[in-house]
Amino acid sequence: MFTLTSSAFADGDAIGSRYTCDGEDLSPPLAWSDPPEGTATVAVLITDPDARGFVHWTAANLAPGAPLPEGASGSAAAGVEGGNDFGGTGYRGPCPPGGEHRYVIEAFALSGHLDLKPGYSERDLRRRMASVTLGRASLTTRCRRAR
């Protein structure tokens, strides 16, 4: 079964401050296992469903056998990175304006390489993945800002 994990937190746990706007704002370490047969690449998407699906990171054309190390955003390990809803490209961590928010991290096993240019949108990623997705794995983390 295709699974997504992080060495920094377990599914449902709070994300560490080093991965948020209050810390170093590093992309978290992510690893997937048992991708479906025929997986050529992996894409990652991080959104905040408590803020209408606010996009924190999209990364595509990742190697199916290589995990993403901490702070991979901005490096070759992160493949082709898309735009985030902060108005930039690459990872921007949780920064909820108030209360606790959930962050859904999804990994998609894909049967091919996606023709995407840096800064692509979540919508474009989803559209291009639609016909080549072999599997999906996810985990959820939480964040409440210290004030």
Give residue-wise pLDDT tens across range 95-137: 998 899 999 999 999 999 999 999 999 999 999 999 999 999 9
How does pLDDT run across 50-87, given as a tens digit for each residue? 999 999 999 999 999 999 999 999 999 999 999 999 99
H/E stretch holding 123 reads helix 122-129
Sign of the torsion formed by the C-alpha atoms of 70, 104, 134 and 33: positive
Q: Where are the alpha helices (DSSP H) in 7-121?
A: none
Domains parsed from the chain with CATH numbers: 3-144 (3.90.280.10)
CA distance readout (Å), 44 to 99, 100, 105, 120, 124: 25, 23, 7, 13, 13
Q: How far apart are CA 87 and CA 121, in angstroms?
A: 11
Question: CA 119: distance to chain centroid?
Answer: 14
